[in-house]
Amino acid sequence: MNTRITELFAIDHPIVLSGMSWISTPELVAAVAEAGGLGILATGVLDAEQTRAAVHRTRELTQRPFAANVTLYFPGNRANAEVLIDEQVPVINYSLGKGDWIAEAVHAYGGKVVATVTTIKHALAAERDGADALIVTGHEAAGHGGEVTSLVLVPTITDAVSIPVIAAGGFADGRGLAAALALGAGGVAMGTRFMNTVESPVHDDAKHVSVERSISDTVYTNRVDGLPGRYVKATGSRRIMNMRLNPLSALMRSREIAKLLGLPWLKLAAGIVLSGYRRSVQMARMAIGFDAFKKGCVEGDVERGVLPLGQCTGLMNDTPTVAEVMSRIVTEAEDALERVGNG
């Protein structure tokens, strides 16, 4: 199945593993790459040294093209971006920030740049800044999806830009891939589906949750880590959403926040004091959210932690290997496109 995305990244199938913290590890990235897709290595919770080690480990596991992401909203992630550029990672995916400097540096060594966006405004800005492709994330997605559904957001943005689009949010099978292609995208990015695979490092209890829950068992809120996102409905997510925070909460958690962001504690504490109410509360939620994500993903504990989960969880009823997922989706997509073509 050839599309603008397969040609751009020199991959076999237009299927991308989303870069998910604690989930998109070198092992899962390599499994997706070996199966013919593009895996995005997650670096959001890594420091620069850990990011470099993760890139080296990925290269030990696969010779196929792969990507790595940076969330520019997190202060420490600029250093991670510089590591990825120094390592000449074939594809760099950035989000929540201005990426013109990344595009310039990556293009200098012949790499590609993908920006993750949720609005037309940010899509147009990313194209101007030099992105080679976009991951367009709709409302159905796990984690930080947009406010508009993929069915509307994807064709709106494909009409507005000239660079290829990868649709994300609500995709877990071949029917979804066929639909994304019909909407004008060149492929799909999947998080929840790859999270629940044999090679995924996520705890088995979390995988069981993703099989058992329906399309109605998620919640979209900005009260977990300070940014709007989608998570499984459970005791852990409800508890965190009901927390009342204030600048003092951020100051009390400042050592934890400093460690997460790779910043000197005293500098961060002073910044919290001076940053104002809204920003300080958001930083407190960020620290709480990171800790909760780790409990949910690594420990499989959705009573104390939080598990990012897309609405497509209702489409999944097993835990296959990555290779099985890829083969199944491609076959289903080809069958779906043939049925549509035959009327």
Q: Tell me, what CATH number does 154's domain have?
A: 3.20.20.70
Residue 211 in any domain: the answer is no
Give the range of the structural domain holding residue 263, as residue numbers without chain letter.
218-298
Residue 210 in any domain: the answer is no
Residue 106 in any domain: the answer is yes
Residue 307 in any domain: the answer is no
Residue 209 in any domain: the answer is no
Which pair of structure tokens corresponds to residue 7? 């040609």
Match 């959001």 to its residue by tokens. Answer: 44
pLDDT at residue 273 greater than cutoff 60: no
**pLDDT per residue as tens digits for the range 138-193:** 999 998 899 999 999 999 999 999 999 999 999 999 999 999 999 999 999 999 99
pLDDT bracket for residue 310 (50, 70, 90) = very high
Please tell me whether residues 197 and 266 are part of one structural domain.
Answer: no
**pLDDT per residue as tens digits for the range 4-63:** 999 999 999 999 999 998 999 999 999 999 999 999 999 988 889 999 999 999 999 999
Please tell me whether residues 47 and 136 are part of one structural domain.
Answer: yes
Please tell me whether residues 101 and 224 are part of one structural domain.
Answer: no
Please tell me whether residues 63 and 88 are part of one structural domain.
Answer: yes
Give residue 226's pLDDT.
75
Please tell me whether residues 283 and 323 are part of one structural domain.
Answer: no
Please tell me whether residues 22 and 143 are part of one structural domain.
Answer: yes
The mean pLDDT of 277-294, rounded to a whole number, is 69
Which pair of structure tokens corresponds to residue 73? 């909203």
Side chain identity at 167, as an amino acid letter? A
Please tell me whether residues 172 and 55 are part of one structural domain.
Answer: yes
Residue 207 in any domain: the answer is no
Please tell me whether residues 238 and 187 are part of one structural domain.
Answer: no
Residue 280 to residue 63: CA distance in whole angstroms: 43
Taking CA atoms, 68 is separated from 9, 38, 88, 223, in Å, by 13, 10, 11, 27
Chain center to CA of 65? 18
CA-derived radius of gyration, the chain: 19
Please tell me whether residues 336 and 286 are part of one structural domain.
Answer: no
Give residue 227's pLDDT.
82
Select from 299, 297, 272 the least CA-distant residue to 286.
272
pLDDT at residue 246 greater than cutoff 60: no
Residue 222 in any domain: the answer is yes
Number of domains observed in the structure of the chain: 2
Residue 194 in any domain: the answer is yes
**pLDDT per residue as tens digits for the range 78-92:** 899 999 999 999 999
